[in-house]
């Protein structure tokens, strides 16, 4: 069964055919490192992690590159505000990103290139665009001439006329067209800069991904991804540059994930309605956060609220509780058919444009079968882990709590219920829950 993916460029779901199977090149736009990641970032990277896992299961050999934008206006502003060097700031947030995403069980990319490590590539790209008459120089700035790409707007489905009719386009008299975008920006005093044929300056944002894709994966890749907010202008501008510079389609498939919303509005830094992963991790285990982010189809909006997160947590715990309750027995021959059918449907759902909601419903059906027949927990574990779930190490229970739980069990055994209840209350007031099982007990975090 072929893998099907929605392609933002063609606006339809189609069979995924790699350029040179079984290899798949995947480039995902990373974060600008000047602050902590919020849930919206997490959703994007969980989505592409899922895509990568499903492609791998399908038999593809995925090479995944994801950049860090480590130079731009906001970074410079934040570094000045914090009175620290730009590189110190960016390293801090690269480390924070790595830590935050690791907790979500995201498989690291093959390479995380830094924009600042690829300035010569970008300069070369810009030179090439100038030579091809797709860019022009004005007083140390270089602009991309969008008219050089006669299909400009094809990705975001915008026509140049419509864009010109908008009210929100920045007026800059240096530009031939208000839609032209900056490739090289001259540096002001005190700003970091790199030398170039047009003077000291720094690259424009839309250029780095093109240069890094070309240098690390080649000028024509299988999949280019990112959040839906990157479609325009970022990805549109990348596409235009790549087409003009390399005369290739650049990326065969463009994959964009939907937003996380709060009170029905997009979560974003500028609106201030964001929740950082770090804050959420304080109240919710990371594996539940991952489950919450994966439950909804990647292209639909995902409404965040503490209630929604709790809902996901309850559902997830129901799924994982089976590992504590049902013995790990192999599936007998006469039950292979129903179990395998669920497994097949699970993968079919994922191959169908990552229909993870459908796939997870199969996990719950499997859960039901496991309880009914008291076997097959390994299949649930295998399927869940293949999409990055069920990875949490057993939660750490402090030794004194463990000891109290053990004492309670001893008290229970001699029917000293008063002591047992007293210990349970103490354990609960410490934020843990002790639960009896047919053959013993377990302690978990509250």
Partner RNA sequence: GGCGGCAUAGCCAAGUGGUAAGGCAGGGGUCUGCAAAACCCUUACCCCCAGUUCGAAUCUGGGUGCCGCCUCCA
**Residues between 198 and 227 that touch RNA (CB under 7 A):** 205, 226-227
282 scored as a contact of RNA (CB under 7 A): no
Smallest gap, in angstroms, from Cβ of residue 405 to RNA?
A: 11
CB atoms within 10 A of CB 433: 13
Smallest gap, in angstroms, from Cβ of residue 325 to RNA?
A: 5
18 scored as a contact of RNA (CB under 7 A): no
Cβ neighbors of 369 (< 8 A, separation 6 or more) are 335, 338, 339, 342, 376
DSSP 204-271: -HHHHHHHHHHHHH-SSEEEEEEEGGGIIIIIHHHHHHHHHHH-S-SEEEEEEE--EEETTEE--TTT
List binders of RNA among 412-431 (CB under 7 A): 412, 417, 420-421, 424
Span near RNA by CB under 7 A; candidates 99-107, 190-198, 311-319, 332-340: 311-319
Q: Which pair of structure tokens corresponds to residue 292?
A: 């919450």
End-to-end CA distance of the chain: 43
158 scored as a contact of RNA (CB under 7 A): yes
17 scored as a contact of RNA (CB under 7 A): no
List binders of RNA among 394-413 (CB under 7 A): 412
Q: Which of 61, 172, 300, 403 binds RNA (CB under 7 A)?
A: 300
Q: Which pair of structure tokens corresponds to residue 256?
A: 């964009």
| CA atoms in the 13 A half-sphere facing the CB of 392 | 16
Smallest gap, in angstroms, from Cβ of residue 22 to RNA?
A: 26
List binders of RNA among 354-393 (CB under 7 A): 355, 357-358, 360-361, 364-365, 367-368, 371-372
- Distance, CA of 39 to CA of 46 (rounded, Å): 10
- Distance, CA of 213 to CA of 140 (rounded, Å): 26
List binders of RNA among 27-46 (CB under 7 A): 29-32, 40-41, 43-44
Span near RNA by CB under 7 A; candidates 76-84, 305-313, 336-344, 376-384: 305-313
Q: Which is nearer to RNA, 20 or 418 (CB)?
A: 418
Span near RNA by CB under 7 A; candidates 99-107, 156-164, 188-196, 390-398: 156-164
5 scored as a contact of RNA (CB under 7 A): no
- Distance, CA of 30 to CA of 424 (rounded, Å): 47
- Distance, CA of 49 to CA of 294 (rounded, Å): 10
Strands 181-186 and 61-66: unpaired
81 scored as a contact of RNA (CB under 7 A): no
Q: Which is nearer to RNA, 109 or 267 (CB)?
A: 267
Q: Which of 268, 276, 378, 386 binds RNA (CB under 7 A)?
A: 268
239 scored as a contact of RNA (CB under 7 A): no
């Amino acid at each position: 069964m072929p893998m099907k993916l929605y392609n933002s460029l063609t606006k339809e779901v189609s069979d995924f055919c790699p350029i040179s199977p079984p290899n798949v090149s995947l480039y995902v736009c990373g974060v600008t490192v000047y602050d902590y990641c919020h849930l919206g970032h997490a959703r994007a990277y969980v989505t592409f992690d899922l895509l990568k896992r499903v492609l791998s299961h399908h038999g593809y050999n995925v090479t995944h590159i994801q950049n860090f934008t480590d130079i731009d206006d906001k970074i410079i502003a934040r570094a000045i505000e914090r009175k620290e060097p730009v590189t110190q700031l960016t390293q801090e947030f690269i480390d924070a990103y790595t830590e935050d995403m690791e907790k979500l069980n995201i498989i690291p990319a093959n390479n995380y290139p830094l924009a600042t490590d690829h300035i010569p590539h970008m300069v070369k790209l810009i030179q090439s665009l100038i030579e091809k008459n797709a860019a022009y120089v004005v007083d140390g700035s270089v602009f991309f001439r969008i008219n050089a790409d006669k299909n400009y707007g094809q990705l975001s489905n915008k026509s140049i006329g419509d864009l010109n009719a908008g009210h929100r386009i920045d007026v800059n008299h240096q530009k031939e067209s208000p839609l032209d975008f900056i490739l090289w920006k001259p540096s002001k005093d005190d700003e970091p800069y790199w030398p170039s044929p047009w003077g000291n300056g720094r690259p424009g944002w839309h250029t780095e991904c093109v240069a890094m894709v070309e240098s690390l994966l080649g000028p024509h890749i299988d999949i280019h991804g990112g959040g839906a907010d990157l479609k325009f202008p970022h990805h549109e501008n990348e596409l235009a540059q790549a087409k003009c510079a390399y005369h290739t389609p650049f990326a065969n498939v463009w994959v964009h994930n939907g937003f996380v919303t709060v009170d029905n509005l997009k979560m974003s830094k500028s609106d201030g309605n964001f929740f950082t992963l770090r804050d959420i991790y304080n109240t919710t285990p990371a594996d539940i956060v991952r489950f919450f982010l994966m439950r909804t189809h990647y292209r639909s909006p995902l409404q965040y609220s503490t209630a929604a997160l709790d809902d996901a947590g309850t559902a997830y715990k129901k799924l994982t509780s089976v590992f504590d309750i049902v013995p790990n027995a192999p599936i007998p021959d006469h039950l292979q058919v129903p179990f395998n059918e669920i497994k097949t449907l699970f993968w079919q759902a994922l191959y169908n444009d990552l229909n993870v909601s459908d796939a997870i419903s199969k996990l719950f059906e499997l859960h039901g079968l496991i309880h009914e027949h008291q076997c097959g927990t390994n299949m649930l574990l295998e399927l869940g882990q293949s999409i990055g779930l069920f990875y949490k190490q057993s939660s750490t229970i402090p030794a004194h709590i463990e000891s109290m739980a053990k004492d309670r069990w001893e008290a229970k055994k001699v029917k000293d219920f008063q002591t047992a209840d007293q210990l349970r209350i103490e354990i609960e007031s410490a934020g843990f829950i002790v639960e009896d099982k047919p053959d013993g007990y377990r302690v978990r975090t509250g």
